[in-house]
Amino acid sequence: MITRDVVLCAGVDEAGRGPLAGPVSAAAVILDPARPIVGLDDSKKLTPARRDALDLEIREHALAWSVAWASAEEIDRINILQASMLAMQRAVAALQVRPTRVLVDGNRCPDVGCEVEAIVGGDGLVLSIGAASILAKVARDRLMCELDLAFPGYGFAGHKGYPTRAHIEALRRLGPCAEHRRSFGPVRACVQVIG
C-alpha cells in the first residue's frame, strides 16, 4: 500500500523533436525502488538492442509508465516545442499512479498539475528520466517502422524521419506524405517546389 507521505516521482522525456516526419513521443515513468533496473541511461547512449531489452524491463518492473504522442498535424499547428509539452502532459496524465513530483529532461516544464522540475541532461543524470527516454525512443522508432510500410519510398524504418540525405532526396522525388511536418523548412521547401 502506498502511503500519502511517499513522494512518487515520475521521470519524463520526449523523442522525435528533430525529425521531418512522424509524431513526437513522450514517456513518463515512476520507478519501483524495490525493483531496480540496471543500465538505465540516456537512450541515445544505448544500442537499439539494449534499448529494446530495457524497454521490456521498464514496462515489467516500473510502478507506472505511459507513452503518449503529439501528431505531425499538431506539431504544424502549435509548433514542435508546444507539441512536445503536450505529449509530456498526456504521458503524465496517462500514468496509472499519480505522481507527486515530475522531473523533466531539458530546460522547459510542461504543466502537469503537480511540482515539476526541468533538468538539463536529465536523461543521463536521473534514472526515471533515462527510463522515460528509452520508452519514448523505442515507441517512436517502432511507429516509424510501421509508417515505413504505410508510406513506402521514404525510408522511415532507416532514418526514423530525421533529415538525412536519403530522406531529403525521397522528399524531393515523392513530395511530402501525410506524416510529414509541413511547418519544417525542408518539407516546406519541397511543398513550394512541387506545388
Is 13 annotated among the ligand-binding residues? Answer: yes
Question: What distance in Å separates the CA atoms of residue 107 and residue 135, rounded to the nearest whole number?
Answer: 20
- 10 Å Cβ neighbour count for 45? 12
Pick from 144, 142, 26, 11: nearest CA to 84: 26
123 touches 43 (CB < 8 A): yes
CA dihedral (51, 54, 59, 63) in degrees, to 10, reads -130
Is 14 annotated among the ligand-binding residues? Answer: yes
- 10 Å Cβ neighbour count for 174? 15
Binding residue numbers for a divalent metal cation:
13-14, 105
